[in-house]
Amino acid sequence: MIQKMFKFNKGEQKIVEKIINDENIHLNHMIFSKGDGLPKHNANSNVYMIVTRGILSLQLNNQNVIKYEKGSILNIPYKTFMNVTNMDDETLEIFVIKAPNPKDVEK
């Protein structure tokens, strides 16, 4: 088989899971209920966020929070300060792609 197949969990409960972590990319899958999110942090690579369910509340650097609905794809530059949260009732589901893989960014 030439291709590789990866699976991700489904559900309503909080999930932060690494799907792919290879020499090309780092792909995470995340599910957050209202009030859940990631710890505030700086992007450790060039980040792409794909919103597949719900509404993402995102604060970058010292900007105001901006909400992004299902179907949004965002690009966040390396070292940008990020606050990723679900402020809405609907469950939030996102995929986060980091390219290059963070392990290769700061060598």
Collapsed DSSP state (helix, strand, coil) of residue 30: strand
Collapsed DSSP state (helix, strand, coil) of residue 102: helix
Q: What is the mean pLDDT of the chain?
A: 94
**14: confidence class by pLDDT, cuts 50, 70, 90:** very high
Domain locations in the chain as residue ranges: 15-104
pLDDT of residue 104: 75
- In CATH, the number for domain 15-104 is 2.60.120.10
pLDDT of residue 67: 98
pLDDT of residue 101: 76
**106: confidence class by pLDDT, cuts 50, 70, 90:** low
Instruction: Give which of 105, 98, 97, 62 is closest to 81, Cα–Cα.
Output: 62
Quick one: what percent of the chain has pLDDT higher than 70?
A: 98
Task: Average the pLDDT over 52-73 and give the result.
Answer: 98
